[in-house]
């Protein structure tokens, strides 16, 4: 990923995450509109809703285990640029997995018209919102200290100066 300032890094990260989150929201709206039956009849489906809930719970468990395992190796990166690039990839993977869980919930609502899927969908979106990578959260996750923390926390320095002066960034 190419970025020259910390602010540009966060703008690219937020744009990618918004697009990832729009997919399950659109799918849920589509499933809601597609499940409206003018006669008011309920559809019966043989798959029990708890199976889909178990799939989503396993997905969230996978998200937390994989994230906590992977973030430890990212913290040991050589420079700030490398850490931020790896954090970007890890955050994208985390949100893709969360979006897949939301898509399963939208599908569950579509096939069963059960309101519990709506509540679980909203809770999943709120959980993804709580995991949103703000600059203080990135500093906390990567355990940044000193100048690196100040650069990310306040979005201060740019990386373009490093390329112009040294040929490669040495953070």
Asked whether residue 159 carries a pLDDT value surpassing 60, the answer given is no
127 vs 51: CA distance, rounded Å: 21
Is pLDDT larger for residue 19 or for residue 78? 19
Read off the pLDDT of each residue in 15-35 and give the average, rounded to a whole number. 95
By the 8 A CB rule, do 152 and 1 touch? no
Q: Reply yes or no on whether the pLDDT at 170 is more than 70.
A: no
Asked whether residue 41 carries a pLDDT value surpassing 80, the answer given is no
Separation of alpha carbons 7 and 40, rounded Å: 50
Query: pTM of this prediction?
Result: 0.85
Give the pLDDT score at 158: 52
- Residue of 131, 96, 123, 110 whose CA lies nearest to 22: 96
Residues 6+ apart with CB under 8 A from 112: 43, 45, 47, 49
Q: What whole-number distance in Å separates Cα of residue 75 and Cα of residue 83? A: 7
- At residue 18's C-alpha, the angle toward residues 34 and 118, to 5°, is 35
């Amino acid at each position: 990923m190419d970025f020259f300032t910390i602010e540009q890094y966060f703008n690219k990260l937020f744009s990618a995450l918004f697009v990832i989150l729009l997919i399950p929201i659109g799918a849920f709206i589509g499933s809601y509109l597609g499940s409206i039956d003018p006669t008011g009849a309920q559809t019966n489906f043989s798959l029990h809703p708890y199976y889909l809930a178990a799939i989503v719970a396993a997905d969230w468990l996978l998200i937390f285990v994989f994230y906590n395992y992977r973030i430890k190796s990212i913290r040991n990166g050589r420079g700030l640029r490398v850490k931020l690039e790896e954090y970007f990839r890890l955050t994208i993977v985390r949100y893709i997995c969360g979006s897949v869980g939301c898509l399963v919930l939208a599908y569950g609502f579509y096939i069963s018209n059960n309101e519990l899927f709506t509540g679980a969908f909203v809770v999943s979106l709120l959980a993804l919102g709580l995991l949103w990578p703000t600059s203080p959260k990135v500093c906390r996750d990567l355990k940044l200290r000193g100048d690196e923390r100040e650069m990310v926390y306040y979005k201060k320095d740019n990386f373009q100066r490093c390329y112009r002066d040294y040929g490669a960034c040495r953070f």
